[in-house]
Structure 1
């Protein structure tokens, strides 16, 4: 009786959440309803989110270099070599690799990911970094891929591969982050070889074609309790057969030299390539995802100067405070440098 009453009382909230980025088939009674999804609920949300995304991008397109926009529209990502003037890159790279600051780490399978917030302290210590993140061409590209004028969250990220652990790394399975567009970017501070576990992407998978929508419909009919947990929570894993059914090719690893910026829509299918040997990747990592159903481009108060660069610290503190309810995978690792060994080692 109590559970039924709770469902009734929460029903208005659940309905409102359909107009947000909520994506879990496992935790949301409407999103995970196979009856409603047979009637087309999930497919309708995917289609509407895509239409609004394309409408917003058309309004942002004039702020993006034509060659970058063409590559992104075709492939779902753009790779920019020598993103920073080669005369300036060595000094920026050295300043970031030697920077010491508070760090957080998370283990997934045999990989440990460390993140250091690009916050006011780091921006003051490394002014070249502030200059790069303020560039109009880079900001225009970030906004276009995210489909919003929103300031991404920025980190220095280190991924240490093959450092113990027997569980599979979920990031190595080709997947989409959600049912709608989102932006991630990597400015690689060191070369990334094929054997280092590079970022991989399925070209063209950011396009919500009729075959992609059919696949989304079919997956919405699965029992969320009978599929893998990450897919059930809205980050669907995809097989080679699934890709073929959508008319897509395999994921391609992006082996790139240092000073390459990759910006991708992670609503498309992507993964972290499997590393063939122990090693590390170090990068400026940026991320932006917003409610896909908003018709306006801006209006994000958290993107205001003085607020935007403090959000990561606030987010970590919030999750620490409510870890018992929402979880906190990012554990404090003390004061570190990006090139230091994982704290747990």
Structure 2
């Protein structure tokens, strides 16, 4: 018998998630059945959607999330012992999965992409779900053209930092908003953003008048809130908006969400297209994204960055730190 530990959510979050919203449970895994694999977790991903989706499930539930692990025992010849796999088994030390019976994306198990010497943790970051989110959300919905002006909020996060770099690869002008001066410096000096701003210290309307005097063509929205209404008011005719998330409100009561200026005047005047999306829409094409993203990393066109926390007992700390914006790049936990 294999002994394992996992985080179980015992109450729905109110405001910022609290440590005592979780129990850490020790348990024994059953013997493998035909078609199953036993995976030892090596890396765990913490992401904003884990907060946003909290109320969707009755408690108690096992905390979900993407993870990278190694197959320790197998009754599936496609996944021999030693194979690196990505799954959505969440915050646990070991798991059992069956790649032949995915009822949803939550059950998917696939071999980690070949990363040619790069950190295997990129398989849950830039060459994983966050990378696919940036790739399809930006390229499919925003449909950038060379010379376009692109604005990204949450620009120093796991998804936003990739979107900005993809925009540069596509020949666009890129403006990013982030939450600290260190993040602003990283975006401009390391990632090549044309301009970046600390949204906490600037007048967003005024800086956009300077940085985007000819208007904004594409906006990749990770945060929602008033800043998004302001950016949308600067958009050109037939501008495109990809709405990935609204992290500015994830800790708020859904019945008392913050208010922002109405958009309809600008939507009609500029004939804008705004589309929300879930990356699961393109799950059958993720491998296409991973091939391009890993190639661009190896060519030096894409610079991934990770915020690494170590230890199973510190997954909670990494999670609330990510929600507070303490990470630059992708927040991951090494077990």
TM-score (norm 2): 0.25
Q: Which has the higher strand share?
A: 2
Q: Which has the higher helix share?
A: 1
RCO higher in structure (CA 8 A, sep ≥6): 1
